[in-house]
Structure 1
Amino acid sequence: MSIPNKPIVLVHGLFGSLNDPKILAAFGNAEIHAPDLIGYGRNRRANTGSLTLLDQARHIADFISGIGAGKVHLVGHSVGGAVSVLVARHFPELVESLTSVEGNLTLKDAFWSGQIAVKPDEEVARIVSGYQADPDAWIAGAGVQINEWTSSLARAWLANQPASTIKAQAKAVVAATGEAVYLDAIRSVLQSDIPVYLIAGRRSAEGWDVPDWANDLCTARLNIADTGHLMMAEDPAAFAAAVLTCLSYR
């Protein structure tokens, strides 16, 4: 499998970060980056009171520009997939290819964000605290087998952002994906010169709300065997191989 000609930038979902040594190492010699979104990790103290998905897209665009490599292969997981669509739509000069890994393509995909977005702040904080009290149960609920690494990963993901970020990001996703212009953005990117790849876990693929026209227009679609929505936690090597396989398409 050839090494991509441009850096790969991984954009994480509603919880956590993809900046984990085991996940990154699975990409071998490829240049790989996994920045924190606004409100996450090193950016956790940022003001998220009026956060929009376009703010997150601009943040990622600034990160890509800072790499200094010109274009990158952009890979967005879940909520990060929605952010990545907006990066490709508004900053196409920075995107060599776009890979949506069960990215939120419709409001139906963002059902969990939709539930969080309307809950009082105190209830969101209680939900997150409940997850943090039993990280193994939280990640196992997504089909991830518990071992020393996945247990540590669950704790790190749950600690990577405050509950206020979860609420703000959820509201931003619902606001963006609920607008017809968002589907127009997806279609525009698919009809552009940017290759678009769709990746899902085989167990969760059926629940991914991908419009028929998106399946028809994408460059390639892959389902990763024996995995679900958190495929990078279940099998980092298979996740990386799927991404690299897509990027080998011409």
Structure 2
Amino acid sequence: MSAHDKPIVLVHGLFGSLSDPKILAAFGNDDVHAPDLIGYGRNRAADTSSLSLLDQARHIADFISGLGAGRVHLVGHSVGGAVSMLVASHFPELIESLTSVEGNFTLKDAFWSGQIAVKPVEEVAGIISGYEADPDAWIAGAGVQINDWTSSLARGWLANQPPSTIKAQAKAVVAATGEPTYLEAVRGILQSDIPVYLIAGRRSAEGWDVPDWANDLCTARINIADTGHLMMAESPNAFAAAVLNCLSYR
């Protein structure tokens, strides 16, 4: 793969990180980054008691500015797709292109976050403890085949953030995508000069609540064959290839 002229920034979803070396290596020679959101990974000690999705967007904007490379190709997965939409809406000067990988468009997309958002943090912790007791079953539930790497990935994703972060992030995405102004902002981005690409796993594509106008206005849409919502865990190479294929559109 040949490198693109701008860095690629990957924004992870509700659990885990996209910084796994195998995922990053799939992008070949491209300059790719996968920062932790507030409350995750190296930022797990951050106060998330009043976290908003716009806080996360500002955090990613600060990361992009810190790269010193000007505009970037921003790629957001699931909840990270909603964060990325807010980055593009509030900080368009930082965005060369935007790719939503089954990013949350509506509360239908955020259905699981909606369930988590209203639970006491102790109950959220209990749910996550159940996943941690059998991480293979947790990730296999999304259609991921279990091998040494995906088993390790599942454990790492589950350990990457405390339950308080999961609850806070769930509340934040429900609050943001539940506002009518959110889809108005999405439409504004799609009608702007920023190229917008939509990527889904073919198995999960029908469940992605993308408005018809978003499919019509996007620069390109790709459904990755033989994958579901966690396509980067099922096939890092296919995930990276889909992103890079999108960036070849002009």
Correspondence for 2:31: 31
Correspondence for 1:63: 63
The answer to whether the 8 Å contact 1:124/1:167 transfers is yes
The answer to whether the 8 Å contact 1:2/1:248 transfers is no
Unaligned runs of at least 5 residues, structure 1: none
Correspondence for 2:239: 239
State the Cα distance separating 1:3 from its structure 2 match.
2.2
Correspondence for 1:168: 168
Correspondence for 2:149: 149
Correspondence for 2:102: 102
**Aligned-CA RMSD value:** 0.5
- Secondary structure of 1:174's counterpart equals helix
The answer to whether the 8 Å contact 1:201/1:225 transfers is yes
Correspondence for 1:116: 116
**What letter is aligned with 1:71?**
R
State the Cα distance separating 1:120 from its structure 2 match.
1.2
Structure 1 residue ranges (4+ consecutive) displaced by more than 3 angstroms after TM superposition: none
- Alpha-carbon separation, structure 2, partners of 1:184 and 1:40: 29
- Alpha-carbon separation, structure 2, partners of 1:160 and 1:153: 10
- Secondary structure of 1:200's counterpart equals strand
- Alpha-carbon separation, structure 2, partners of 1:138 and 1:94: 36
Deviations 1:175-231 (A, max 9, x none): 000000000110000000000000000000000000000000000000000000000
State the Cα distance separating 1:167 from its structure 2 match.
0.1
What is the TM-score with the length of structure 2 in the denominator?
0.99
State the Cα distance separating 1:122 from its structure 2 match.
1.0
- Secondary structure of 2:152's counterpart equals helix
The answer to whether the 8 Å contact 2:2/2:30 transfers is no
Unaligned runs of at least 5 residues, structure 2: none
- Secondary structure of 1:226's counterpart equals coil
Query: Does residue 1:182 correspond to 2:185, yes or no?
Result: no
Correspondence for 1:212: 212
- Alpha-carbon separation, structure 2, partners of 1:243 and 1:3: 12
Correspondence for 1:44: 44
Correspondence for 2:228: 228
The answer to whether the 8 Å contact 1:11/1:80 transfers is yes
The answer to whether the 8 Å contact 1:202/1:223 transfers is yes
The answer to whether the 8 Å contact 2:11/2:75 transfers is yes
- Secondary structure of 2:197's counterpart equals strand
Correspondence for 2:140: 140
- Secondary structure of 2:37's counterpart equals coil
- Alpha-carbon separation, structure 2, partners of 1:173 and 1:4: 31
Deviations 1:84-108 (A, max 9, x none): 0000000000000000000001111
The answer to whether the 8 Å contact 2:39/2:45 transfers is yes
State the Cα distance separating 1:77 from its structure 2 match.
0.1
